[in-house]
Chains A and B, each alone.
Chain A
């Protein structure tokens, strides 16, 4: 069982909808990440939060808006998405932002845009 919990597991939304993806971890990790993964491709980094501050935005369109309310929670707010945004969205966490500790992934949210 993963120690990073993502909800919902599946989400279908129209292009005009607003929805949010949620991620929670209770391992005391201080770095959290959002990735996007298309079918048969590796995960691609979207955002990095370190100590609840946004540290990296990989030139992600503004229709994706991340939020880190506290050290255990990470949200991804979605608005006016496009069909090409359909993908598996993965949350991950690591002990800190130093690259010598592994990232642990949640089960992901499978997003479909109609």
Chain B
């Protein structure tokens, strides 16, 4: 079967670093994607991994281990505007079907 899991809520302090973990199980895997979604808005693409290792994009980095079915999103120099839900999703099958996790609500406080 297919499933994906991430923590429901996290809190962090402005200026700090936070790591959001994601574990998944699937028989067919194309890639792992991270999206940010503010309340009432559409998801915004942040980062993705096709191969194992770390991908860095400014303040955001994402890591993938395919053998462990594990990914994380690292957010550095947290800002108040980073308070949002972070969605982990993997692509499976021949038509880029995205399977989303339930999302992690991150609250950044001063």
Q: Closest residue to B41 on the A side, CB-wise?
A: A107
The stretch that binds B, out of A11-19, A43-51, A62-70, A72-80, is: A43-51
* Residues A59-114 near B (CB distance < 8 A): 88, 90, 94, 96-108
Q: Closest residue to B51 on the A side, CB-wise?
A: A100
Inter-chain contact A105/B44, CB cutoff 8 Å: yes
Q: Closest residue to B45 on the A side, CB-wise?
A: A102
Range, interface on chain B: 20 to 34
Count of A-B residue pairs with CB < 8 Å: 68
A45 — which chain B residues lie within 8 A by C-beta? 97-98
Chain B CB within 10 Å — which of A43, A44, A90 has the most? A43
In the complex, whether B72 has a CB less than 8 A from a CB of chain A is no
Please, how many residues of chain A have a CB less than 8 angstroms from a CB on the other chain? 28
Residue of B93, B98, B102, B103 near A103 (CB, 8 A) is B98
Q: List 24 A-B contacts (CB under 8 A).
A: A42-B100, A42-B101, A42-B103, A43-B87, A44-B100, A45-B98, A48-B95, A48-B97, A56-B95, A56-B97, A97-B95, A98-B30, A98-B96, A99-B30, A100-B91, A101-B96, A102-B45, A102-B48, A104-B45, A105-B35, A105-B43, A105-B44, A107-B41, A107-B42
5 tightest Cβ-Cβ pairs between the two chains A and B: A99-B30, A99-B91, A42-B100, A99-B96, A105-B42
